[in-house]
Amino acid sequence: MTWRSERFRRLVSTLDCGACGATGPSQAAHRNEGKGMGLKVSDALCAALCPTCHYELDQGKSMTKQERRDFWNRAYINTVQQLIEEGRLWT
């Protein structure tokens, strides 16, 4: 069963963008690997992305597949770091 949490997605959405640093609110952007057509991966795999970065990740044409993976991975790491450093994972 895939983990779903609206509460966690909303929390991620309050953060600054994990890619470009734009002041939040952001959008909870799911990882685009390990899913089927029309299905999203676990909500635990959400990165905070501003609308511009989220669009570029999902629909943009400027990145290769590997660059998209690297872009999302960096944003995810920055998202988790924000959550931990702000003490928001434990509330």
Contacts 24+ apart (CB under 8 A), 53-60: 53/17, 53/19, 53/20, 53/22, 53/29, 54/26, 54/27, 54/29, 57/19, 57/29, 57/32, 58/29, 58/32
Structural fold of domain 6-85? Erythroid Transcription Factor GATA-1; Chain A (3.30.50)
- Domain ranges for the chain, please list them: 6-85
pLDDT in tens, 59-70: 989 999 999 999
pLDDT in tens, 14-60: 999 999 999 989 999 999 876 666 677 899 999 999 999 999 999 98
**Phi, psi dihedral angles at 28 (to 5 degrees):** -80, 105
